Structure 1
Amino acid sequence: MRKIGFRGYMVIAVGILILTVGGLYFFNMNRVSPTATKKASGVQITQSTPGQYQTVIKDGRYLVSAARGITATSEPNQLDVKHFESSLLELSKSQFKPAQYIFQEGQYLTADTVTNLLARQSNDNPNGLNPEDNGKTDDSRNPTYVQTLTEQDFMSKQGNDLKLSGMVIGVAMNTQDQYQKEKYGANYTQNISDADRVAYGKKIAPKIIAQVRAQSGVSDSTPIVIAMYANSPADSLAPGGFYAEAKSSHGDTLSDWTTISDKSIVLPKEATDTSKLGSDENSGFANFKNDIANFFPNIAGATAVANFKSGTLTRLDVKVNTQFYSQTEIESFTTYVSQSALKFLPSNVPVRIVVQTANELQAILIRNANDKTFTVTVLN
């Protein structure tokens, strides 16, 4: 074995020192913490993507919400689960630009805190946002107005740390409240008027802001935007939408409320729907539906959900129900659907088409705004 002299040991030692110092420098440059006052080892941010937020990763995993899962389990209409959170993120981009802020799932309102806020007010739960149960079982009962809420945090870099620079709180308000007159009894539905919903939302908004500011790590001057969402009825084929927002720059005071026009409708429209919203889209969809039905008579039906903001179509989601059994039938039909969609459906918004039977997903067609073709995936 060849011996290493003193000079050789010195070279190795210097090399180890350089690697160690270099590694520490690399780690510190990439490490960030969730607040400016409390460091959390192993917290990083994702790479930037144009128009999208960088997000926070902790110990190699996406940093999930502290109150994760409450929205998914509490919303009566599952269409509202995704639409509520995705629409809130789009709304947030107008307040906190993706190029300037880093998105973090809510970390300040815990699951227990949110659960207590969503409950009825009582002696044991003075912070409950919903009114105390008055014992009534008819339309004079106090309904559950607030169904769920979610928190989104917006961070900015401060050296190698992340600092909380803003928050958005989405509040989903009921348009209907389902209840039972007796335990394990029949379900009843109490309608909530638009006027009552809007008024109650404005009433409890300062209380929500106060509760958020009471959490450790949230300062009295952290900008907080509160956005109000109207849930759709439980049996609706279209999700609800945001209808108002306000901002708190200090304490629990709020700016004037700004109206938001976020509405989704089902196509084809019912004959009783005489509104002008979606009239052109409805005509185009009717032509699309008739065209694909004439090509292949085994379709059981086709519907679409059209999303509008301020009266302008922003997205179209289509479902085509079939009774196909042959793989070649599915492939031929999907090809024709893509051609028909290019002819009859709007070209300036994202369009997603799902072809399915009652029990099986058969194909997915996706086209981004202004694309000339669909990306088609046929499932075996």
Structure 2
Amino acid sequence: MNKWLGFSILLALLLTGCVPSPTDDQEKALQETEESEQEMVIIPNEQIKKEYYRTPVPFKKSASRGLVVSNLNTKYDMQETEEGLLRISSLYFDTQNYFFQEGQYIDRDTAKQWISRKSNYEAGLNPSITDDMTPAQIAEQAPIYLAHIVEQNYLQMTDDKKVKLAGMTIGLAMNSIYYPREGNERSIDDKTIEEKGKQMADIILTRLRSKPELADIPIAVGLFKQNSRNDIVPGTYFATAFAAKGKSEFIGWKEVDETYVLLPAASSTGNYRDLNTTFKNFKQDIDDYFPSFVNVVGTAFYKDQKLNSLRIEIPIQFFGKSELISFSQYLTSLVKTHFKDIPIEVSVTSVNGPEVLIVDDGDRKEPFVHVYGY
């Protein structure tokens, strides 16, 4: 679940079917539904970070919710298709002036048809196949390119206190590997993924414009490259474009430079050499003090060739509370020593669940440390 949505979801859970009176940190507004009815929503004034969108409550779930589980290969890709699209959306819809809402216009049945083969549904965007094609021919000539569609809506408040749709972002999750029911898997090259993704984006845009409520709003798109089923780091968005109000073609395609790197990396060379060396030294210090660890795994996120954040997961065997506190203090000192000025999150877990959380956003003098149960 996205952390930045936590505040809104908590409020939604407390609503119990009605909208409470707003506090000093909230504002009431009317929102028109697809059925041309109006309902009261609350807009929290509090914004935890400037990068996070505020969200009207009651929180509205995506109209296509549930499909992501069956369409994407890993839980990492499931999360990143949504979180990465939020970063793309912020390029076009400023977080200070727009509110976020999960997609309400591409419902489950529509999304299911669009990601199907054209031979199964007329609206299918993936290539048709015939009964006489062999699995090898299908894999070579007509693999499944499009795995999933993500929709995000962006709202604005009018002068008369009404919240209305003011923008939309679409994410297309593309397969980098096709897994046939029979035969060997087939890799799909980056050029083909990009070419097919751009073609499908324009088709989807035309279909969206046919809806009266979407005919004259700005719509952005992001192309996402899904990783293999065995990867433990997510894929990333690699291209984005924008269609201004009323336009039925995406223009200005540009590269999205984002990469996730698994640490320790297999090679000590390349763009991530220094971070890889630092991580190995950090891991060695842990092993020297507490040699009973199964593994220490890091995931570094690079944006525009710069390290943006680092997450480290440390599974432990059962520790007594005194040993856990001792380890937490030692681990915090290692974070301060090895990862200065790097936004970092360290999660220590055991078979009992989360044990310790250490967070340093790069701006605080001391890391935030929480030992669960204390």
Superposition TM-score tier, normalisation by shorter sequence? 0.7 to 0.9
- C-alpha change, 1:136 and 1:200, in structure 2 (3 Å) is farther
| TM-score normalised to structure 1 length | 0.84
Residues 288-340 of structure 1, C-alpha deviation per residue, up to 9 Å, x if partnerless? 10011111111121110000111111111101122233222222112111110
What pairs up with 1:1-380 in 2 under 5 angstroms? 30-34=28-32, 38-49=36-47, 51=50, 52-57=52-57, 61-122=58-119, 125-134=121-130, 135-138=133-136, 139-158=139-158, 159-181=160-182, 188-219=184-215, 221-249=216-244, 250-271=246-267, 274=269, 276-349=270-343, 351-357=344-350, 360-380=353-373
Residues 117-176 of structure 1, C-alpha deviation per residue, up to 9 Å, x if partnerless? 111112x51211111135331242411111111111111122222222111101111111
**Which ranges of structure 2 fall in alignment gaps of 5 or more residues?**
1-20, 22-26
The match for 1:9 is: none
Which whole-Å CA distance do the structure 2 matches of 1:144 and 1:224 have between them? 25
Comparing 129-138 with 84-93, which one deviates more in the overlay?
A: 129-138
The match for 2:8 is: none
Comparing 39-48 with 109-118, which one deviates more in the overlay?
A: 39-48
Which amino acid is the alignment partner of residue 170 of structure 1?
G
For 1:180, what is the secondary structure of its paired residue?
coil
For the pair shown, the structure with the greater C-alpha radius of gyration is 1
The match for 2:6 is: none
Which whole-Å CA distance do the structure 1 matches of 2:176 and 2:318 have between them? 38
For the Cα contact (< 8 Å) 2:349–2:356, is it kept in 1?
A: yes
Which amino acid is the alignment partner of residue 166 of structure 1?
G
- C-alpha change, 1:341 and 1:354, in structure 2 (3 Å) is same
- C-alpha change, 1:144 and 1:150, in structure 2 (3 Å) is same
Measured after TM superposition, the shift of residue 36 of structure 1 is 10
- Alignment size in residue pairs: 340
Q: Identity of aligned pairs, percent? A: 25
Measured after TM superposition, the shift of residue 216 of structure 1 is 4.6
- C-alpha change, 1:120 and 1:37, in structure 2 (3 Å) is closer
Measured after TM superposition, the shift of residue 359 of structure 1 is 6.1
- C-alpha change, 1:107 and 1:345, in structure 2 (3 Å) is same
For 2:265, what is the secondary structure of its paired residue?
coil
Which whole-Å CA distance do the structure 1 matches of 2:69 and 2:367 have between them? 30
Runs of 4+ in 1 over 4 A off after TM superposition: none
Measured after TM superposition, the shift of residue 188 of structure 1 is 4.3
- C-alpha change, 1:163 and 1:360, in structure 2 (3 Å) is closer
For the Cα contact (< 8 Å) 1:104–1:152, is it kept in 2?
A: yes
Measured after TM superposition, the shift of residue 341 of structure 1 is 1.1
**Which ranges of structure 1 fall in alignment gaps of 5 or more residues?**
1-22, 24-28, 182-186
Which amino acid is the alignment partner of residue 366 of structure 1?
V
Which amino acid is the alignment partner of residue 153 of structure 1?
N
Residues 219-271 of structure 1, C-alpha deviation per residue, up to 9 Å, x if partnerless? 2x311101101111111121111100111123421213101111101011103
For the Cα contact (< 8 Å) 1:109–1:215, is it kept in 2?
A: no
For 2:195, what is the secondary structure of its paired residue?
helix
For 1:256, what is the secondary structure of its paired residue?
strand
Which amino acid is the alignment partner of residue 83 of structure 1?
E
For the Cα contact (< 8 Å) 2:317–2:350, is it kept in 1?
A: yes
For the Cα contact (< 8 Å) 1:106–1:152, is it kept in 2?
A: yes
For 2:214, what is the secondary structure of its paired residue?
coil
Which whole-Å CA distance do the structure 2 matches of 1:262 and 1:291 have between them? 30
Measured after TM superposition, the shift of residue 346 of structure 1 is 4.3
Measured after TM superposition, the shift of residue 88 of structure 1 is 1.0
- C-alpha change, 1:190 and 1:286, in structure 2 (3 Å) is same
For the Cα contact (< 8 Å) 1:34–1:162, is it kept in 2?
A: yes
| TM-score normalised to structure 2 length | 0.85
Which amino acid is the alignment partner of residue 60 of structure 2?
L
